Amino acid sequence: VMYLLLHAVKGTPFETPDQGKDRLLTHWEQIDYGTQCTASRKFLSVSPVVLYLLTSFYTKYDPAHFIINTASLLSVLLPKLPQFHGVRVFGINKY
């Protein structure tokens, strides 16, 4: 759900004074006007890691669950890296 809300949906749900510049950006790219390493971005980056650790512990590190949880963690954390700001991998979510 976090991936869909922050990294797949583009544009803004309300009218903005930027004359349409943000319509090509995801919600993650719009947080704090694109400034990296702010408190809100750090919180949204750390929360999936905490959930990952909790789910790994409660599933007793079962290999099947561990692989699924690791894949989901990577799918949420990689788009949050500053190197991927504005990057569209394989042209996905380009328009």
CA distances from 50 to 21, 44, 71 (A): 34, 11, 15
Q: What span, in angstroms and rounded, lies between the C-alpha atoms of 7 and 78?
A: 10
Q: What span, in angstroms and rounded, lies between the C-alpha atoms of 81 and 41?
A: 10
Q: What span, in angstroms and rounded, lies between the C-alpha atoms of 55 and 59?
A: 6
Residue whose structure tokens are 């599933």: 59
Mean of the per-residue pLDDT values of the chain: 84
Each residue of 29-69: pLDDT tens digit? 888 877 888 998 899 899 999 999 999 999 999 999 999 99
Average pLDDT of the residues in 21-29: 79
- For the chain, the domains span 1-84
Main-chain phi, psi angles of 26, to 5 degrees: -75, 170
State pTM to two decimals: 0.74
